[in-house]
A = this chain, B = another copy of it.
Amino acid sequence: MWRNCVRLARRGLGRGAVLRPDPTVSRCGVSKDYALPNSSWSQGMMDLYSRFLEMCKDGTWKRIPSYSNSVDHIPGKAFWGVHSKYQPQLWQTINMDTEGVGFEYAMFLNPSEKRMVCLFQPGPYLEGPSGFAHGGSTATIIDSTIGSCATFVAGRVMTANLSINYRNPIPLGSVVLVDSKVDQVEGRKVFLSCHVRSIDGQTLHAEATALFIRLDSTKSLQQQMSCQ
């Protein structure tokens, strides 16, 4: 089920790459875009998705695709140019799971507002207290949405701080809107905030702030995160 998290994480992408309009296959023509409707999506999820697609027509919003590996997103090579010993296994296993059981989501970017929203429908694998999403799954979808937003503004980034206030638990199978925006950029630091609300806007499920650090591809991840 972490497959989707991996896909989310792998969206830490070059700007141009994420803004291709509504593709269903990657540029190599074989990868599946996982952020498209499937039979597990509820009517509420479909309606919200359609609403955002409609808002894409005048260019205000852009749908962000999600592929299963970074090669589809990042011109050149993988995120760090370093292939871990686990990658071959990862690529073999990412397509094993079933639609609807974990993270069902779709992201949309509003470039002028520096805002990224994610429609999120948590499945049963994400259960924490009975019937509700685990706090860790909420943290994951927030980290991924807010991180994608930071990437749009600053390029390659890494989470330095994430602070979440959990206000109301998210029922499994419900649809929530994860709405993030960049508040400020100071040098390599990107400050963002995020709200997670029900689709009718009446229930605030969580609110978060985050600090991301823009990365320098000539330095190791450890070096850069150690001297924030």
Contact = CB atoms under 8 A, between A and B. Distances in A.
Contacts of A134: 2, 5-6, 8-9, 140, 143
A128 B9 contact: yes
Given A2-B125, A124-B93, A125-B2, A130 B161 contact: no
A169 interface: yes
Given A2-B137, A86-B127, 18 more contacts: A1-B1, A1-B125, A70-B130, A79-B130, A83-B130, A83-B131, A84-B130, A84-B132, A84-B173, A86-B124, A87-B127, A87-B131, A139-B140, A139-B143, A160-B165, A161-B164, A168-B226, A169-B225
15 contacts: A2-B137, A6-B126, A6-B128, A80-B129, A81-B130, A83-B130, A86-B127, A90-B125, A132-B221, A135-B139, A136-B140, A136-B141, A139-B139, A167-B226, A169-B222
A3 interface: yes
A191 interface: no
Given A131-B82, A136-B144, A221-B132, A126 B166 contact: no
Contacts of A226: 167-168
Contact of A101 (B89, B140, B164, B221): B89
A199 interface: no
A90 B140 CA distance: 20
